Chains A and B, each alone.
Chain A
Amino acid sequence: MPTDRRLDVLQGTLDMILLGLLRGGRANAWDLTNAIHATSRGTLDVNYGTLYPALRRLESRGLIAGKWGTSENNRRARFYELTASGKKALRDERDAWERFTATVGLLLDSR
């Protein structure tokens, strides 16, 4: 069965991915899209409809903070950075993710 090389981002993991990307420093949504695309070598793709609501959600939960700034091409753009609680949330989610994947891996390998 042929499978699409592009994966849908699992609901919930996008939040974690965004937090993880922002660990490297502040970035705007465009940078984040490119980073996801590039880092996953085109495997993951996000569009407006998922990325922006996710950013809003994270911001309204206080995990990231958005500020208007100037982009490298001198345009007004919104930059996001991790807050203290965002860093903590990232750590927690990362732990949980690792436990989850480890468990799923064990289950898949058990036979």
Chain B
Amino acid sequence: MGIPDVLRRFAFRLRSHLRPDADFADMQDELRFHFDREVERHRAAGLSRRDAEYAARLALGNLGAAQDAMREATNWTWLARVQMDLRFAIRSLSHTPAFSLTVVGTIALALGLNTMVFTIFDAYVLRPLQVRDPGALHGVAVTGRTNENSWTDWSLPWDRYLDVAGLSGVVSDAVAYRRAFVRIDRMPTIGQLVSGNYFQALGVRVERGRPLLPEDVSVPGDGAVAVISHAMWVSRFGSDSGVVGRTLPIRGRPFIIVGVAAPAFTGLTEVAADFWAPVTMAAVIDGESSQADAGGWPAVNVVVRLGSGIGAQEATAAIGLRLLSSSRDSAGATRVTGARLQSRATLVPMTAEDAAMLTPIWVAFGLVLVIACANVANMMLARGLARQREIGIRLALGAGRRHVVGQLLVEALVLAIPAAALGFLVSRVALAVGVDVMMATFPPSYASFIRPVEMRGDLRVFAFMLTGAVAAAVLFGLAPALQVTRPDPVAATRGESEGGMRQGRLRNFLVIAQMAGCTLLLIVSGVLMRGATRALVLDPGFRAGGVVHLEVNDAQRRDVLTALHRFPIVEDVASTTNPARGLFGSVAVSLLGTSQVRPMYFTRVSPTLFETLQMPLREGRTFTEVEATDRLSVVVLSESAARLLAPGRSAIGSEVRLGSADATLAQEGLADVRTAKVVGVVADAVAGIVLTRRDVPIAYYPADVATTGSLLVAVRGSVATAARALETALERELPGSVTAILPLEESVAAQIYPVRAASWVATLLGAVALVLTVSGMYGVLAYLVAQRTREFGIRMSLGARRGVVVREVMGQSLRLAAVGIPIGLANRVGDSSHLLLVDAGYPFVRSDGLCDGCNRDRGGKRTGRVVAVASSRLRGSSERPSRRLAMALAATREVVRPAGSRAPN
């Protein structure tokens, strides 16, 4: 069919729909013309005008019916019908404002919570970065293998970055960045040290001034300029229009501000950056740790823009090949195997596995929506039954069932759309409150690193809401609509609405579904709450209280140490390469003379660390100062490591060999340590995140506090006060020396925080589900009881005792619970929440720690408690209707009795 015909067709229908009056007039005109011609014909044949008109009418048939048929023929009558349905729905719903508001409120709450989750998801995962053609951007990682372990490293040496950037046929641009944490006027600040082409290649606008340019980033150690973020411009410089040319003191060096980035751009990573500075300043900003062997150029994260027509697979192969060939000549046992590319079109790149990991969250929130819909479906059902007479009359008058169902669905939509609008408000409020709560409850030293991105209600959120609203309308509207349009019109017009078998079944199903969903959510929140409680009292194997984690400028490190020892509040100073954050590196270790190789975590610590962190020595001794400074080949093992290497005997005095010298080892300065003598065994502690298991094997190698690792300072008195005092004193004596200062216990709290937050969210969801379920059950049971009042009245008048009837109603609800609760339990959320934690980056969730509850208690105590809670709740919600029933019955008996007693007369 040609395009013009399609258009003509559409225009025709549109006209008949939009201008029905004009269309109708045309139709009449046409028919009138026909009629007149017919009359003329008969007149010509000699009939009188009257007879001619009569004959014409006879020949042409029913005019009105013809017009109706013509209108039907245009096909768009359904649209007109929807409009009528809409008007009718709005009218009939406004007659029952309490019902309408309850429905809207219920759906809005559930939809709002879901929208909140989606908005967060959208902001991080779906919203494209504010750069030119974000779809072509890909992060580049080098993949490799060490022993049997394959690894992926997103941090590339500078030379590899140049290699990748040189593949001009494959990538059109390659930018490099590395994150830097600094303190500017005691404010923790996040910077991105970037390559010279960063702004231009990404196509990022600057609001004022100029972007960083390649000439700013040419010589290592040079280029003390910076572009600041819009947020920093507002907060730190008060939106000063003359900010360009002012300076930013970073590590005691003044960086000249050359520009302010556009407000929408916060960098390529999920944590918003405060400033961008040349990567050539890495040595100044990061100190020694960033120094690689590339002549002062540091390791960087690389993002490429693929050339036009180049697919990700093709690019992965080409880049992999380049990385492979260039790493051949570099020494070491690390085998590079290729490259990995990941889309960087949004803040958080998401793979299928990541998305799968989020499933439990979606399910939990989705469940609340389903419970809300079940609630409303029940209300709609009750309302539908009350309207059965009206519906019956309409059916009896010849309305098609399809039309009546359609009308009821339109009513559901009329409720769902304002619910979506209100839900949007709910989501905005929930987001704002959520961010505030998080800021208020997060460990204060870390709170400044939390930078929620702007949560906008954009087109995707709108589409999500609309889909959600329509889905909800169908969920809560369709089943009741089908249900109430089923009955026999004759009975319905007489006002008899016997809730038949099917209605009862639907209602029971809805109640059971609610119970099951609610039970599920309560269990999840129970497990997570317990996990959070336990996390707070978990013993990670070291003390976190009374210790300050201090990061200092390498150049001033020795002066800082001297100063620290002078301060009276300082008890002790130690250092470690893993100050209770991040996971330890791992290495294959074997006992000399045996072939068995054991994978182990390793870290480097100063001799005083064990004492500072109060990790008890089980055997042997710790390092001596000499061993630390001269990096002698000695090692202290954790109890588990000792057991693993020398089961059943003392490991002291044995020699251990490091499996291979890989890149991680080199980074930790252990490349030359081939064998080491075991001098001591210390108690077990976690290797990194505090929620992980404690009984992991760890090898502690010596480090010199004067040169290596983060400083851990044991202080007297309150840690917060001490930290402030330390920083003040150090800033006074050695300006710019402190780059980070954090109470260690706050680091621990920050690690536990996700579990606590998850438990709060789960509790909130559980509470909402509980309220919805209780109110839903109450409604259903009250309705059921009201419906059966007549039956009960008759039974009681026949001699049934009040207790029997009450028991029966209770029994009915408990039977529903007896089905619903086990279904909820059967989902074994204990396991799934456990999996969630494991997935969420806690790979060694301890068997004695967070999650044993879900194993030990499954089918046991917890289940019992949940059942008790659920059934007491159920009792509560059916007791009141029962009691009201009893009161109603008393009245009924009065009415029925005299009637009954009169009967024999």
Residues in A lying within 8 Å of B, measured CB to CB: 28-30, 33, 47-49, 52-54, 56-57, 59-62, 65, 68, 71, 73, 75-78, 83-85, 88
> How far does the alpha carbon of A84 sit from the alpha carbon of B2 in the complex, in Å?
7
- CB pair B2–A49 under 8 Å, yes or no, is no
- CB pair A60–B26 under 8 Å, yes or no, is no
Q: Does B74 sit at the interface, judged by CB under 8 A?
A: yes
Task: Note all chain A residues with C-beta closer than 8 A to B5.
Answer: 62, 83-85
Besides A48-B62, A78-B33, 5 other CB < 8 A contacts? A49-B61, A68-B26, A77-B30, A78-B26, A78-B29
> How far does the alpha carbon of A15 sit from the alpha carbon of B32 in the complex, in Å?
22
Q: In the complex, how many angstroms separate the beta carbon of A78 from the nearest chain B beta carbon?
A: 5
Residue from A33, A49, A75 within 8 A of B36 (CB atoms): A75
Residue from A49, A71, A76 within 8 A of B69 (CB atoms): A49
Q: A48-B31, A77-B30, A83-B5 are in contact. Are A56 and B61 (CB under 8 A)?
A: no
> How far does the alpha carbon of A48 sit from the alpha carbon of B34 in the complex, in Å?
9
Task: Note all chain A residues with C-beta closer than 8 A to B22.
Answer: none
Interface string of B33-46 (1 = CB under 8 A from A): 11011101000000
Task: Note all chain A residues with C-beta closer than 8 A to B75.
Answer: 60
- CB pair B61–A47 under 8 Å, yes or no, is yes
- CB pair B74–A62 under 8 Å, yes or no, is no
Among A33, A48, A84, the most chain B Cβ lie within 10 Å of the Cβ of: A48
- CB pair A53–B69 under 8 Å, yes or no, is yes
- CB pair A62–B9 under 8 Å, yes or no, is yes
Q: Does B98 sit at the interface, judged by CB under 8 A?
A: no
Q: A49-B65, A62-B9, A83-B5 are in contact. Are A76 and B34 (CB under 8 A)?
A: no
Q: Which 9 A-B pairs have the closest CB atoms?
A: A62-B9, A56-B73, A53-B69, A48-B66, A47-B61, A57-B73, A62-B5, A85-B1, A85-B5
> How far does the alpha carbon of A48 sit from the alpha carbon of B63 in the complex, in Å?
7
Interface size of B by Cβ–Cβ distance < 8 Å? Answer: 35
Q: In the complex, how many angstroms separate the beta carbon of B28 from the nearest chain A beta carbon?
A: 11
23 chain-A/chain-B pairs, Cβ below 8 angstroms: A28-B33, A30-B34, A30-B38, A47-B59, A47-B66, A48-B31, A48-B62, A48-B63, A48-B66, A49-B61, A52-B31, A52-B66, A53-B66, A54-B73, A60-B16, A60-B75, A62-B9, A73-B40, A75-B33, A78-B26, A83-B5, A85-B2, A85-B5
> How far does the alpha carbon of A28 sit from the alpha carbon of B34 in the complex, in Å?
9
Q: A52-B66, A78-B26 are in contact. Are A30 and B8 (CB under 8 A)?
A: no
Q: Does B12 sit at the interface, judged by CB under 8 A?
A: yes
Q: Does B13 sit at the interface, judged by CB under 8 A?
A: yes
> How far does the alpha carbon of A33 sit from the alpha carbon of B60 in the complex, in Å?
10
Among A28, A30, A75, A84, the most chain B Cβ lie within 10 Å of the Cβ of: A30
- CB pair A29–B34 under 8 Å, yes or no, is yes
Task: Note all chain B residues with C-beta closer than 8 A to A65.
Answer: 8
Q: Does B72 sit at the interface, judged by CB under 8 A?
A: yes
Residue from A49, A60, A73 within 8 A of B66 (CB atoms): A49
Task: Note all chain B residues with C-beta closer than 8 A to A49.
Answer: 61-62, 65-66, 69
Q: Which of B622-681 contact A (CB under 8 A)?
A: none
Q: In the complex, how many angstroms separate the beta carbon of B807 from the nearest chain A beta carbon?
A: 63
Q: A52-B30, A53-B73 are in contact. Are A60 and B12 (CB under 8 A)?
A: yes
Residue from B16, B33, B70, B72 within 8 A of A30 (CB atoms): B33
- CB pair A30–B37 under 8 Å, yes or no, is yes
> How far does the alpha carbon of A59 sit from the alpha carbon of B75 in the complex, in Å?
11
Q: Does B804 sit at the interface, judged by CB under 8 A?
A: no
Q: Does B903 sit at the interface, judged by CB under 8 A?
A: no
Q: Does B537 sit at the interface, judged by CB under 8 A?
A: no
Q: In the complex, how many angstroms separate the beta carbon of B43 from the nearest chain A beta carbon?
A: 13
Report the nearest A residue to B69, measured CB to CB.
A53
> How far does the alpha carbon of A77 sit from the alpha carbon of B16 in the complex, in Å?
18
Among A52, A54, A78, the most chain B Cβ lie within 10 Å of the Cβ of: A52
Task: Note all chain A residues with C-beta closer than 8 A to B440.
Answer: none
- CB pair B73–A60 under 8 Å, yes or no, is yes
> How far does the alpha carbon of A33 sit from the alpha carbon of B73 in the complex, in Å?
19
Task: Note all chain A residues with C-beta closer than 8 A to B74.
Answer: 56, 60
Task: Note all chain A residues with C-beta closer than 8 A to B30.
Answer: 29, 52, 77-78
Q: In the complex, how many angstroms separate the beta carbon of B812 from the nearest chain A beta carbon?
A: 54
Q: Does B6 sit at the interface, judged by CB under 8 A?
A: yes
Report the nearest B residue to A86, measured CB to CB.
B5
- CB pair B2–A77 under 8 Å, yes or no, is no
> How far does the alpha carbon of A33 sit from the alpha carbon of B61 in the complex, in Å?
13
Task: Note all chain A residues with C-beta closer than 8 A to B66.
Answer: 47-49, 52-53
> How far does the alpha carbon of A71 sit from the alpha carbon of B36 in the complex, in Å?
12
Task: Note all chain A residues with C-beta closer than 8 A to B65.
Answer: 49
Q: In the complex, how many angstroms separate the beta carbon of B617 from the nearest chain A beta carbon?
A: 91
> How far does the alpha carbon of A57 sit from the alpha carbon of B77 in the complex, in Å?
13
Q: In the complex, how many angstroms separate the beta carbon of B490 from the nearest chain A beta carbon?
A: 32
Q: In the complex, how many angstroms separate the beta carbon of A25 from the nearest chain B beta carbon?
A: 19
Q: In the complex, how many angstroms separate the beta carbon of A75 from the nearest chain B beta carbon?
A: 6
Q: Which of B66-96 contact A (CB under 8 A)?
A: 66, 69-75
> How far does the alpha carbon of A56 sit from the alpha carbon of B26 in the complex, in Å?
12
> How far does the alpha carbon of A29 sit from the alpha carbon of B30 in the complex, in Å?
8
Q: In the complex, how many angstroms separate the beta carbon of A69 from the nearest chain B beta carbon?
A: 11
> How far does the alpha carbon of A76 sit from the alpha carbon of B29 in the complex, in Å?
8
> How far does the alpha carbon of A85 sit from the alpha carbon of B4 in the complex, in Å?
10
Q: In the complex, how many angstroms separate the beta carbon of B710 from the nearest chain A beta carbon?
A: 76
Q: In the complex, how many angstroms separate the beta carbon of A82 from the nearest chain B beta carbon?
A: 11
Report the nearest A residue to B33, measured CB to CB.
A77
- CB pair B60–A48 under 8 Å, yes or no, is yes
- CB pair B61–A48 under 8 Å, yes or no, is yes
> How far does the alpha carbon of A61 sit from the alpha carbon of B10 in the complex, in Å?
9
Q: Which of B570-601 contact A (CB under 8 A)?
A: none
Task: Note all chain A residues with C-beta closer than 8 A to B4.
Answer: 83-84
- CB pair A61–B59 under 8 Å, yes or no, is no
Task: Note all chain A residues with C-beta closer than 8 A to B61.
Answer: 47-49
Report the nearest A residue to B74, measured CB to CB.
A60
Q: Which of B744-783 contact A (CB under 8 A)?
A: none
> How far does the alpha carbon of A85 sit from the alpha carbon of B62 in the complex, in Å?
32
Task: Note all chain A residues with C-beta closer than 8 A to B31.
Answer: 48, 52
Task: Note all chain B residues with C-beta closer than 8 A to A28.
Answer: 33
Task: Note all chain A residues with C-beta closer than 8 A to B59.
Answer: 47
Interface string of B49-61 (1 = CB under 8 A from A): 0000000000111
- CB pair A52–B33 under 8 Å, yes or no, is no
Report the nearest A residue to B61, measured CB to CB.
A47
Task: Note all chain A residues with C-beta closer than 8 A to B16.
Answer: 60
> How far does the alpha carbon of A11 sit from the alpha carbon of B392 in the complex, in Å?
33
Interface string of B597-632 (1 = CB under 8 A from A): 000000000000000000000000000000000000
Q: A48-B66, A77-B30 are in contact. Are A53 and B36 (CB under 8 A)?
A: no
Report the nearest A residue to B71, measured CB to CB.
A56
Q: A30-B37, A62-B5, A78-B26 are in contact. Are A52 and B12 (CB under 8 A)?
A: no
> How far does the alpha carbon of A95 sit from the alpha carbon of B124 in the complex, in Å?
60
Q: In the complex, how many angstroms separate the beta carbon of A66 from the nearest chain B beta carbon?
A: 8
Q: In the complex, how many angstroms separate the beta carbon of A40 from the nearest chain B beta carbon?
A: 15
Q: In the complex, how many angstroms separate the beta carbon of A42 from the nearest chain B beta carbon?
A: 12
Residue from A47, A56, A62, A78 within 8 A of B60 (CB atoms): A47
Q: In the complex, how many angstroms separate the beta carbon of A14 from the nearest chain B beta carbon?
A: 12
> How far does the alpha carbon of A75 sit from the alpha carbon of B74 in the complex, in Å?
26
- CB pair B8–A33 under 8 Å, yes or no, is no
Task: Note all chain B residues with C-beta closer than 8 A to A30.
Answer: 33-34, 37-38
> How far does the alpha carbon of A83 sit from the alpha carbon of B36 in the complex, in Å?
28
> How far does the alpha carbon of A62 sit from the alpha carbon of B4 in the complex, in Å?
9
Report the nearest A residue to B75, measured CB to CB.
A60
> How far does the alpha carbon of A78 sit from the alpha carbon of B30 in the complex, in Å?
6
Q: In the complex, how many angstroms separate the beta carbon of B669 from the nearest chain A beta carbon?
A: 80
Q: In the complex, how many angstroms separate the beta carbon of A52 from the nearest chain B beta carbon?
A: 5
Q: In the complex, how many angstroms separate the beta carbon of A49 from the nearest chain B beta carbon?
A: 5
Task: Note all chain B residues with C-beta closer than 8 A to A62.
Answer: 1, 5-6, 8-9, 12
> How far does the alpha carbon of A47 sit from the alpha carbon of B63 in the complex, in Å?
10
- CB pair A53–B72 under 8 Å, yes or no, is yes
Report the nearest B residue to A32, measured CB to CB.
B34
Task: Note all chain B residues with C-beta closer than 8 A to A84.
Answer: 1-2, 4-5
Task: Note all chain A residues with C-beta closer than 8 A to B8.
Answer: 62, 65, 83
